[in-house]
Structure 1
């Protein structure tokens, strides 16, 4: 089948995603969108940096960066030239629990784009020259980051929050661990992670369902099943209530803080998500933004987000302020958390949060690429194909009782693990 001839003439919304009957058990969702003659594909393989071998942190990320550095009969330069000649966008990335990627192309170049994607995932060359180039780039980046307070604070936070756990290791590795990674390690990681088992795919754009199925068969059909991954142990944030300094000679400290969280698959995730919006996720309207920035001028930016990994969920926060005002800023943050624990939000505050979260959700789907990325993440989390249709109703139905339950599960007694990179006074 010529993939460039599979365009559709019927438009659909992301709530009308349909399963694709791809061969060999590949789980995929499809949204036809004929407005622009383009196709976007997003995909995730189960397993990421948490699968890195002991002492070789950064293996999964190095592999992701090498997948488009030559594949099949094409060396690195030839592969990149083949992409550029047809304006094909192909990217790979690695996170704690997955290696994934995205592909975007014009319909008329679909055949070549899918061929290159198939080569990248099925036959990466992992040439020694490319390995050394990527290794050098990653090490140079790490050395540059040694004086970045934000990077240093985040690395310290995860190291102290999850001691001995795979999440304690930096996904980008260390200079020592990157130097230790061999080509055999990369081949073993490819075998462990890049297979049809646990693969989730979304296809959005000017292509019919049978055309999408043909694409997926050609792109991923040659992949083998893979052996079960090492299980990622469940964990929790250690040393809540502790404050840690990463000593850097800078006039402003960068702060990272965390409390408990609720996983995306958990029934209490939506109430926790609304609660987080009220505390620090609501940009200009959140309590932390109003109290820390607007009323006191302690920081330019401050906020929180819910982070959900396979082995842990947490409420993750950030800000930065003058060394002399770090303690004051943290006191204000702690006071707002304790106010929510004691009193919860007002009814008006809760309603405004729900109105914003339901009204803004459509902005997550304003391009084919965004739709594909959202769908593949929903599939990866096992939330069901109807999640997009259900999500706003779930947000709108959150009650004060739901918020109180989520507050108990996330904030508990209000203690935080805090890392400040700088020279905070009185910390």
Structure 2
């Protein structure tokens, strides 16, 4: 049966991208749960993605890590099934599940065969509605989290990222890691995990995407069975936070021959009218791999790093332009100067016609490749809903990319990019800083 599931998934990977368009249906269950559905009946297989807004940002400071630990424990047993029995039941049903926590959401994903749908959803419902949080499992998974935290303490990239977040978002949940600290994770109790679950997994913040061999009526009934007994409301959302750090450099001492730099400043919201212009601009500046200016100037021309990248980070409650690279201790100061110079050049001069043409060609050509199977499409459907994008977004997205002009990028770059505001946090032993 597991081999059948694998074969079905492989077939869908080949079948779905050749369709002319993704036809999305809006579904409302009898109990009022909304979802987006793409029906695909050629293979008896369905992918389900369920996300809840809020995530680890809902936690109190002294409970950091509760949501992360809670989500890791959902597959550790329900009812009379302990961890091993739950895993065995899932394998017998050829059910694939995933549970994840991020700053702004928690998510549950499932992949199941049509013939096993009812039993698969019954098992998944137990994990979502009534997890055991058995103390033995709590202690074991807590130990894994603590081991990861100790490993992070020896990772210069993690050290730089932690300090950057502290400076960027002081007093906000974004300022600290969703994994928590050794102190907060050690102090978490079973009651804290149930509290975290009720805070994060509630019907007033749920978004659902489904793709595969299921009708709208079947999906509605499935959702009420799976999610209908969740709390009606969860914890209040945190306030929006402005990027607070001033420009400059800060060093986190760490004994390593190669320093890691995290850099950035205030960003742009996802629903801003200029987001697409900023998105194309960032592709040219630093997100385009070997096609980006920063890779060309910092790596190719000067050999200062193996890789550098920038990102538009539009979180639900704060936004920033973020970048990262590593360089030898004796040359990282030079690399920082080059980054600042390229930041200023983009802000002052925008992009060339050729750069814009190449970026648009890549971004529009690569977009259809994201739709490479039921699971990825279900995930995209949820992301579209959570970002407030319309049903027509898939059909119109590339047109919005093509509509970006050189003048748009020049204006947005001048407004958004500020080399003097760039904060660089460097973990290592950098010379000359």
Q: When the two structures are superposed, what TM-score results if normalisation uses the length of structure 2?
A: 0.93
Cα pair 1:46 1:193 within 8 Å, conserved: yes
Cα pair 1:14 1:31 within 8 Å, conserved: no
The alpha-carbon distance between structure 1 residues 309 and 354, as it changes in their structure 2 partners (threshold 3 A), is same
Partner Cα distance (1:77, 1:171) in 2: 27
2:393 pairs, out of 376, 382, 387, with 387
Partner Cα distance (2:147, 2:419) in 1: 42
Q: Does 1:348 align with 2:354?
A: yes
Deviation at 1:215, TM superposition (A): 2.0
Deviation at 1:29, TM superposition (A): 0.4
Partner Cα distance (1:302, 1:109) in 2: 46
Cα pair 2:160 2:252 within 8 Å, conserved: yes
User: Which residues of 2 match residues 32-111 of structure 1 at below 5 A?
Assistant: 32-111=39-118
Partner Cα distance (1:188, 1:58) in 2: 13
- 2:179: which partner in 1? 172
Kindly provide the CA deviation profile for residues 13-50 of structure 1, in whole angstroms up to 9, marking residues without a partner as x: 66311111323221210111234332111111111111
- 1:418: which partner in 2? 424
- 2:245: which partner in 1? 239
Deviation at 1:408, TM superposition (A): 3.6
2:126 pairs, out of 110, 119, 122, with 119
Q: Does 1:372 align with 2:375?
A: no
Kindly provide the CA deviation profile for residues 75-104 of structure 1, in whole angstroms up to 9, marking residues without a partner as x: 222111111222211111111111112111
2:233 pairs, out of 208, 226, 230, with 226
Deviation at 1:398, TM superposition (A): 0.8
The alpha-carbon distance between structure 1 residues 259 and 67, as it changes in their structure 2 partners (threshold 3 A), is same
Partner Cα distance (2:204, 2:342) in 1: 44
- 2:194: which partner in 1? 187
Does the residue aligned with 1:233 lie in a helix, a strand or coil? coil
Q: Does 1:258 align with 2:264?
A: yes
Partner Cα distance (1:143, 1:128) in 2: 22
Q: Does 1:280 align with 2:301?
A: no
Q: Does 1:363 align with 2:385?
A: no
Does the residue aligned with 1:179 lie in a helix, a strand or coil? helix
Deviation at 1:349, TM superposition (A): 0.9
Deviation at 1:245, TM superposition (A): 1.0
Cα pair 1:145 1:151 within 8 Å, conserved: yes
RMSD over aligned Cα, in angstroms? 1.7
Does the residue aligned with 2:28 lie in a helix, a strand or coil? coil
Kindly provide the CA deviation profile for residues 314-351 of structure 1, in whole angstroms up to 9, marking residues without a partner as x: 11101111111101111111111100111000122112
Q: Does 1:298 align with 2:280?
A: no
1:203 pairs, out of 210, 218, 222, with 210
Partner Cα distance (1:87, 1:240) in 2: 52
Partner Cα distance (1:62, 1:23) in 2: 33
Deviation at 1:414, TM superposition (A): 4.5
Cα pair 1:23 1:221 within 8 Å, conserved: no
Does the residue aligned with 1:101 lie in a helix, a strand or coil? strand
Does the residue aligned with 1:360 lie in a helix, a strand or coil? helix
- 2:24: which partner in 1? 17
Q: Structure 1 unaligned runs (5+)? A: 1-9
Q: When the two structures are superposed, what TM-score results if normalisation uses the length of structure 1?
A: 0.94
Range with bigger deviation, 109-118 or 249-258: 109-118
Does the residue aligned with 1:345 lie in a helix, a strand or coil? coil
Cα pair 2:341 2:419 within 8 Å, conserved: no
Partner Cα distance (2:55, 2:144) in 1: 20
Partner Cα distance (1:244, 1:23) in 2: 55
User: Which residues of 2 match residues 399-414 of structure 1 at below 5 A?
Assistant: 399-412=405-418, 414=420
- 1:143: which partner in 2? 150
Q: Does 1:131 align with 2:120?
A: no
Does the residue aligned with 1:114 lie in a helix, a strand or coil? helix
Range with bigger deviation, 379-388 or 397-406: 397-406
- Give the number of aligned pairs: 417
Does the residue aligned with 2:421 lie in a helix, a strand or coil? coil
Partner Cα distance (2:205, 2:272) in 1: 20
- 2:332: which partner in 1? 326
Does the residue aligned with 1:119 lie in a helix, a strand or coil? helix
Deviation at 1:264, TM superposition (A): 1.6
Kindly provide the CA deviation profile for residues 161-188 of structure 1, in whole angstroms up to 9, marking residues without a partner as x: 1111110011001100101111111111
